[in-house]
Amino acid sequence: MKKGRVGLRQTKKDPPPSFYSVAVHTLPPLKSYEEVVYGTGLVVTSPNHLHYVPQLHPPVAAPRVTQPPAPSRKKQSCCRTDARCCGGSWGTFLLLIMLGLAIWLGIRYGTRLATTSILYGYDDGAVSGGSDGDDDPPSVPSHDTCPNTTVECDARRDCLLGSDENNCVRLAVDGGLQVRTNEDSRYLPVCYHGWDKSYADRTCAQLGFRTCYGTKALDSPESIGLTVNSDAHVSIQGLVDISASCPSQKTVSLQCLDCGRQKSTSRIIGGSVAKQGQWPWQLSLHFRGSHTCGGVLISRDFVVTAAHCFPSENPSTRDPKNWRVYGGVLSQTSLSRAYRPWKIILNENYNGKTNDQDIALIKLSAPVDFNDVVQPACLPAFNQRFPHGTACWISGFGTTDAKSGIISKELMEVTVEIIDAQECNHTRIYGGMVSKNMMCAGDLNGGRDSCQGDSGGPLVCQHEERFYLAGITSWGIGCGEKQQPGVYTRVKMMLPWIYSKMQQERP
Catalytic residues: 308, 358, 455
362 vs 345: CA distance, rounded Å: 6
Closest CA to 251 of 276, 292, 217: 217
55 vs 287: CA distance, rounded Å: 9
- Phi/psi at 285 (nearest 5 deg)? -100, 120
Kindly give, in sequence order, each residue whose CB lies less than 8 Å from that of residue 17, ignoring residues fewer than 6 positions away.
7, 9, 401, 402, 403, 451, 478, 479, 480, 481
**Helix or strand (DSSP H, E) at 202:** helix 197-206
Number of Cβ atoms within 10 Å of the Cβ of 403 = 11
Q: Which residues pair with 294 in a beta bridge?
A: 284
Using DSSP, how many helices (H) and how many strands (E) does the chain show? 5, 24
Kindly give, in sequence order, each residue whose CB lies less than 8 Å from that of residue 128, ignoring residues fewer than 6 positions away.
337, 338, 339, 340
Number of Cβ atoms within 10 Å of the Cβ of 336 = 15
Q: Which residues pair with 414 in a beta bridge?
A: 394
In one letter, which amino acid is 192? Y
Instruction: Show the beta-strand stretches assigned E in 152-299.
Output: 169-171, 177-181, 184-189, 214-219, 225-228, 240-243, 250-255, 272-273, 282-287, 290-297
Instruction: Show the beta-strand stretches assigned E in 184-329.
Output: 184-189, 214-219, 225-228, 240-243, 250-255, 272-273, 282-287, 290-297, 302-305, 323-327
Pairing of strands 438-442, 466-475: unpaired
Kindly give, in sequence order, each residue whose CB lies less than 8 Å from that of residue 134, ignoring residues fewer than 6 positions away.
none
Number of Cβ atoms within 10 Å of the Cβ of 83 = 9
Q: Are 146 and 216 in contact (CB under 8 A)?
A: no
